[in-house]
Amino acid sequence: MTTTAPRLLQVLRSTTITPRMIRVTLGGDELAGFPGEGPDRRIKMFFPVEGQDRPAIPRASTGGPVWPAGEARPTIRTYTVRRFDPAAGELDVDFVVHTGYGPAAAWAQSAEPGSWVGVSEPGGRWVPDPAAAFHVVIGDESALPAVATVLEAVPPDVPALALLEVADAGEEQDLPGKADVTWVHRGNRPAGEPLVEAVRAATLPEGEGQAWLAGESAAVKDIRAHLLNERGLGRRAVYATGYWRAR
- Rounded to whole angstroms, how far apart are CA atoms 105 and 230? 37
Domain boundaries, the chain: 7-119, 135-244
Q: What is the pLDDT of residues 78-99, one digit of tens each?
A: 999 999 999 999 999 999 997 6
pLDDT at 2: 39
Q: Could you tell me which of 239, 227, 241 has the C-alpha nearest to residue 127?
A: 239
pLDDT at 3: 59
Q: What is the pLDDT of residues 208-238, one digit of tens each?
A: 999 999 999 999 999 999 999 999 999 999 9
Contact 214, 242 (CB under 8 A): yes
pLDDT at 243: 92
Classify strands 160-166 and 180-185 as parallel, antiparallel or unpaired: parallel
- Rounded to whole angstroms, how far apart are CA atoms 186 and 203? 20
Contact 55, 47 (CB under 8 A): yes
Domain at 7-119, CATH homologous superfamily? Translation factors (2.40.30.10)
Task: Walk along the chain (247 residues) and give the pLDDT tens digit of each residue.
Answer: 335 889 999 999 999 999 999 999 999 999 999 998 899 999 999 999 998 999 999 988 887 888 998 889 999 999 999 999 999 999 999 999 976 678 999 999 999 999 999 999 999 889 999 999 999 999 999 999 999 999 999 999 999 999 999 999 999 999 999 999 999 999 999 999 999 999 999 999 999 999 999 999 999 999 999 999 999 999 999 999 999 998 6
- Rounded to whole angstroms, how far apart are CA atoms 79 and 94? 8
**135-244: CATH, from 3.40.50.150, 3.40.50.300, 3.40.50.80, 3.40.190.10:** 3.40.50.80
pLDDT at 1: 36
pTM of the model: 0.92
